[in-house]
Structure 1
Amino acid sequence: MPDNILVYDAPQVRGIPESDPAGNIPPDLLQNGIEVIIPVWPQQSPPGEQDTLIVRLTRNGVVEFISTTTYTSPITAPEIIIPIGPEFLINDGIVELSYETQNFVGNPAYSASRTLTIDHTPVPVNLPAPDFPAANIWGYLNCSSNPPVWNGIEVKVPPLPAFCQIGDVCAVEWSGYSTLNGSGTVIPGTYKRIDKTLLSAQEIAVGFSITVEPFVPHIEPMKKDASGKAGYSIYRGFRLIGSSNSGVVKIDRIIPGENLPCGP
């Protein structure tokens, strides 16, 4: 295609960050299909005439998926969503996603291509759960915990799988609940994600700890018969390569004999 009519940015795919140059398709999207987001082009045909949108998915220059849709001008929606089913995402490898528009007299305009990576390598989702070194033998953090919960809660990530490499990122996620078993709705404001870049073979071999802080808002709402839940996911670049079961710690900050929570 002539370079001088390449006028659109590459299309985006819902659920795949623009910042990921490889366009790794997450496992759930490989299973369910993807949605391509096409911003409506600024120069449409005259009112009442038809524009055509053509979306292509190619591999090594060979078209594996094509969608052709016509729209009567003016198109008032800010964007158009084109689904691509999982049957087109079966074969592993690199594909290119692009689109073309044609106005009512057939003049074309083209987008740049978006690289997407299809990889069905199984991702383990039941790695050992993290634990909470300050919890007592009954699995509680309370007013007697050392260090005090208002100084932060230590989450210990266990030894990581042998497939981990220095430079991978371990993302630890924490949420608070108004139940003792980490069930129900997350307490607003308690969620926190901490990304830890693996810096040494020792961190992979023996694990590491992170601290959930500050007390407000991530811990303070859990006062009585509450809990915190933590899990971790491992990423290589933008690609998920493993995730853990969740660890739960019970939290009861009510001062014995009183009806007030302990705290700073």
Structure 2
Amino acid sequence: MPPVQPVPVQPQIVYIPQPGPPGLPPPVAAQRGSSAPVLVVDNGAATVVEEPSQAVAARGGAGDGASAASGAPLGGGRTRAGMFANRSTTVPQGTLIPAVLETAFDSTRPGFARAIVSRDVYGFDGARVLIPRGSRLIGEYSSQVESGQNRALVNWTRLIRPDGVTIAIGSPAADTLGRGGIKAGVNSHFFERFAGGILQSALDIGVNLASARLGNGTVVVALPGTLQNSIAPVVQQRQPTPTLTVPQGRSISVFVARDLDFTSAEARK
């Protein structure tokens, strides 16, 4: 009896659908009913799940978006909070000290200014008066004024209380609403600034008229161009800067630029 030839087994083709979103279990392939070989055809693309840190790095970091342009720090350094020490004996930064000018202000020359505190100023917790009314402020100002400036800049350097306590404050002057500088009157020296130009124009016109009336038979010694070149350096040297003036008795305020600690002075009482 001849041997029986085995029947060749045909391979089965099974299609696997595209995988779903990350996190879902992959689909289960169809169960094979026999031991026949299986050819698997995967039509889906591989899905890569990024870690949060890798995703941020791939996009250029947290500071490369719109928040970086606006200045808002994302993922930047950390700031630690601390306790405010000596709250009852400290005038915190940002406090406005109301005062009245005792001396007038004129920016023609640099000098010193003096003011007197008009209202009591309390500590951080409001329990104690640290800067009583009548305290004196000493400051200084500069004569450097820019064109268009209309506010006087005074730097208050020292505060003296009626009981003799003194402290270096190093704070700028402001108006009663806290705006930088003191509203001042401005003298722009209009006629002094343009007097040279007016004189130069008048001389040029006079030379031109004289040349036209005398005719060709008269020699004109001073020409308009020569006269203009000789006067121009003098005109440039006579350009005064604006002068700011503030009258005596103007209500102002002092913007405290740093914490003022009166602990040692209050402990002596």
TM-score range, shorter chain: under 0.3
Richer in strand (by share) = 1
Larger radius of gyration: 2
Task: Tell me the TM-score normalized by structure 2.
Answer: 0.25
